[in-house]
Amino acid sequence: MHTWFITGSSRGFGREVALEALRRGDRVVATARSTDALTDLARTAGVDDDQVLALALDVTDAEQVATVVARAEEAFGGIDVLFNNAGIGYFAAVEESQEAEYRRMMEINVFGLVGVTNAVLPGMRDRRTGTVVNVSSVGGMRSFPAVGWYNASKFAVEGLSEALAQEVAPLGVRVVIVEPGPFATDWAGSSAAEVTPEDEIADYAATAGAQRRTFRQGAGAEPGDPARAAAAIVAVAHEDTPPLRLPLGAIAYDGIREKLDMVRDDIAAREYLSRGADETSTGDAA
């Protein structure tokens, strides 16, 4: 039996992972800004109420994070799996983006994730076991018009998670980066802000504007099944040697492989310039 601490549990991947973990026999500390949507988790999963602890949490409130993590550890004796799921989107070309909006997104997607992780890690280090599961995106490996700042937040999650994985591996703690493609989780719906009409720049209508409309029009009809994704996430979290990366959905899997091929092709074309930048190069004239 694992004890999960899940952020953003009110909907999407957070809720589905909570339900899947409960059905598997695990215990869940389900957190969200409001607990209103968390009261039915035990009943929906068909488990006893004592398997679930629902707590209000704003991941950007450091004092609240510390208090809620302490309550979770006191209630269940420790946290085995941290599922950093809380996050939001923002649709705008980079030049159109409003500072208040992208700073808010960074506070939630990056600094909130870091704050919760740092609050949970001491307990995992003491017990020399634990798994940190960070939700990134296919957009954490490759960028798209209209979501440059969202991409930036998820690229940050990727880099941070890679470094963290190397730091905590000798301590018995594992890190998994979940990289979903498009799923019906409301990511492109009401949870994501976008550029206001007065801030739109006509020159970006065919790139960022078109992509933004595609995201919005496809909201709710994405090919990914959140319940299937949750089953994969919970299964991997129970593995003794989970992967560092877990793409979810064919679009994410194929898209990430395509990005890796593009990077290889791009840098190979000027390998001589790259290698020639060293102080002593085999390509230098005698």
What pLDDT does residue 90 have? 94
Check if 259 is active-site.
no
Taking 50 as the threshold, does the pLDDT of residue 286 lie above it?
no
pLDDT of residue 192 exceeding 60, the answer is: yes
Phi (first) and psi of residue 194, to 5 degrees: -150, 170
Q: How far apart, in whole angstroms, are the C-alpha atoms of residue 145 and residue 123?
A: 40
Q: In this structure, which topology does domain 3-255 adopt according to CATH?
A: Rossmann fold (3.40.50)
pLDDT tops 70 at residue 218: yes
Q: Is 136 a catalytic residue?
A: yes
Catalytic one of 136, 137, 153, 161: 136
- Confidence at residue 281, expressed as pLDDT on a 0 to 100 scale: 60
Write down the pTM of the prediction: 0.93
Q: Among this protein's residues, is 150 annotated catalytic?
A: yes
Mind listing the pLDDT tens digit for each residue in 235-278? 999 999 999 999 999 999 999 999 999 999 999 999 999 999 99
pLDDT of residue 136: 98
**What's residue 187's pLDDT?**
72
pLDDT tens-digit map of 180-189:
999 877 776 6
The CA angle 174-177-182, to the nearest 5 degrees, is 155
Of the candidate ranges 141-150, 190-199, 200-209, the one whose mean pLDDT is the lowest: 190-199
- Residue 244 — φ and ψ, nearest 5°? -70, -40
Domain limits, the chain: 3-255
Model confidence at 91: pLDDT above 80: yes
Mean of pLDDT values over 139-164: 97
Q: What pLDDT does 232 receive?
A: 98
- At 22-75, the pLDDT tens digits run 999 999 999 999 999 999 999 999 999 999 999 999 999 999 999 999 999 999
Residue 283: pLDDT band by 50, 70, 90 thresholds? low
